[in-house]
Amino acid sequence: MRIAVLGAGAWGSALAISLSARHQISLWSKDPDHAIEMERERINQSFLPGYPLPESLKITSILNEALDTAELALIVVPIAGLRETLRAIAARKIKIPILWGCKGFESETTYLPHQVVEAEYSAILPHCGVLSGPSFAEEVAQGLPTALTLASKDVDFSSKIAAELHSSRLRIYTSQDVVGVETGGAIKNVITIAAGISDGIGFGHNARAALITRGLMEITRLGLGLGGSMKTFMGLAGVGDLILTSTGDLSRNRKVGLMLAEGKSLNDILNELGHVAEGVHTAQSVLKLGDRLNIEMPITQAVCSILHEGVSARTAVEVLLNREQKTEIY
């Protein structure tokens, strides 16, 4: 299959490497200098150092070249760049099925990715879907076993594309719950920051387990409020992704939490990371949606207070620990 991977960050590059074994892949970077460097060095030194780009992989900064003969576009840009990328495709009058791997809410609108797609690229709907689940880019690039969920309202489309992308090392499961898959992938990054803070403070494994479990409740409450399915939050795109990012040392959002616990400023943390940590930008959108739907989101509130209100990490976590006693499921 001819696939255009749009977005040459760590995740886009890892997918391009993995899929190149079985498909004709074009990897597009918006930055011409970045594309030239990758073509010359055959490595993405900026975002995925240490993992060679296959010689068969075409690299370009010209969107028309990436999409020229493609049968599928896989958009793997941060959520903040999704709308711009869709507009660039639409402006070229290209009608091509798309998948997206963005995780988060668009900050200006609090839209999930599929809502941005509907607003900007409705001409080809419903031939589109979201690819999400527990996945670190480095492990996918290494060829280590990974399982993802491909969700689309179009069952025939999801079945066909999942079969094309599926392999023994990159297992693709299908779903019709686009909202649930996107919500799980978005909110887990916020919960992961809280788990990183707890670990950084030294509260131990018991506290981390409690945060992850209570965080799953927040994901589920808001996800159900937005129209997602309970089954989704118990699966790969829900609890699976949450566990991975909250406990794995490769998680950028977990690193944000750990560094906040050290007392570092948010600006210094983001400069040090050099990568997008979606939970930082997603937290306020999640809180807004919770308020709008009258859904309690105490962990998200604590993370927002640290990120945007100057509350210390220890103080915010202590507030969480001292909330009034309640029944577990509510």
The end-to-end CA distance of the chain, in Å, is: 47
CA distance 131 to 171: 12
Task: Supply 143's token pair.
Answer: 């060829």
Q: Return d(Cα 218, Cα 303) in angstroms, integer.
A: 13
Helices within the chain (DSSP H only): 10-19, 32-41, 63-67, 82-91, 113-120, 137-142, 155-165, 178-201, 204-226, 230-233, 241-247, 252-261, 266-273, 278-292, 298-308, 313-321
Cβ contact 48:56 at 8 Å? no
Cβ-based neighbour number of residue 174 at 10 Å:
18
Instruction: List residues with catalytic annotation.
Output: 188
- How far apart CA 189 and CA 317 sit, in angstroms, is 17
- Looking at the DSSP bridge assignments, the partners of residue 271 are none
Which amino acid makes up residue 257?
G
DSSP states along 36-82: HHHHHHSEETTTEEEEEPPTT-EEES-HHHHHTT-SEEEE-S-GGGH
Closest CA to 276 of 33, 49, 10: 10
Check whether the bond before 113 is cis (ω within 30° of 0). Answer: no
Q: Token pair of 244, please?
A: 């991975």
Chain-centre distance for alpha carbon 329: 27
232: nearest Cα among 150, 112, 317: 150
State the Cα angle at 184 between 138 and 214, rounded to 5°: 105
